Amino acid sequence: CETSNKPDVFYYQGTDFIAEVEELLEGELRDYLGCTEVETRLVSGQMANAAVFSTMVDYLNIADRKIEPRRIRRVLNHHIIKGGHLSAQPMGTLRDFVARDPKTERPAVVNFPVLAENPYKIDIAACREIIAEYKPELIILGKSVTLHREPVAQIRHFVDEISLDCIIMYDMAHVLGLVGPYFQEPFKEGADIVTGSTHKTFFGTQRGIIASDYQRDNLRWPLWEAVRRRAFPGSVSNHHLGTLLGLLMAAYEMNCFKAQYQKRVLSNAKALAQALKESGLDVAGDPNVGYTETHQVILNVGYGKG
């Protein structure tokens, strides 16, 4: 499919080959993710997340560029102890982009509630109440320690039922190679933005991406334009061109073999979890789904005994 983001000008000469690789890679990743837009110039997943947070501040202040820009008023995320990624924490990359709660004088971040019997899974009923109470401007799904699908569709429903102006972001760094009908299709489920690194379950070179399914006539198209600006020149000038071609080769391979690859990754994880359980180990997760719905298997071994 045609990209809508071909640059009007390159600032260096002799870049025709690189331009071709960028366009080919964007096309392959759009096909893989099932979306209209992909930004590939980030060099890590954490940089991709930082670019999105910077984008949010840019987008929230689009109406008046003359005043001091305000930060994101409220963020809903996974706590790092419950598997959340460091970049989505107020002690990490999020720190410089989230406002402070005037009541607590702490970063205005609230964490997803989890089930008492399974701390790796969001408590959906409690989450609905939290969204209604705190009205976050940014919701960050996705974790480093992840056993279950993220409830993207349910979160989208909770946001829409109260007409909340909120961006739903899914950091798929660890599960990017599983995108599809056997795991999750985030844009069909209601995500606004997907980020990820490209060297975990998506077996490419080490880079980062941002994706969306916005069209030019979408009211949030300016958000995507801000993503492009915050990627370049906001985050990179030289974006490690040597790894770009390797990622293109990985994208070709993934698009050819993803069905077989994804099914085997998921079935192998369940088989490993079951075998470990039968061997007497304490396997975390829900036994009704084979302990894991991802590529990860988690063992409870006790504090300091890993």
* pLDDT means over runs of 10, the chain (306 residues): 50 79 97 98 97 97 90 98 94 96 95 96 98 98 98 99 98 98 98 98 98 95 96 90 96 98 99 98 96 97 77
Per-domain boundaries in the chain: 16-251
Beta bridge partners of residue 139, listed in sequence order: 76, 168
Task: Say what the pLDDT of residue 2 is.
Answer: 40
Task: Say what the pLDDT of residue 244 is.
Answer: 95
CATH architecture type of domain 16-251: 3-Layer(aba) Sandwich (3.40)
176 touches 202 (CB < 8 A): yes
Beta bridge partners of residue 283, listed in sequence order: 299
Helical segments of 165-231, H only: 186-189, 221-231
108 touches 138 (CB < 8 A): no
Which residues, 6 or more positions from 53, have their beta carbon under 8 angstroms from its beta carbon?
A: 72, 93, 94, 96, 97, 98, 138
Report the relative pairing of strands 118-122 and 114-115 from DSSP bridges: antiparallel
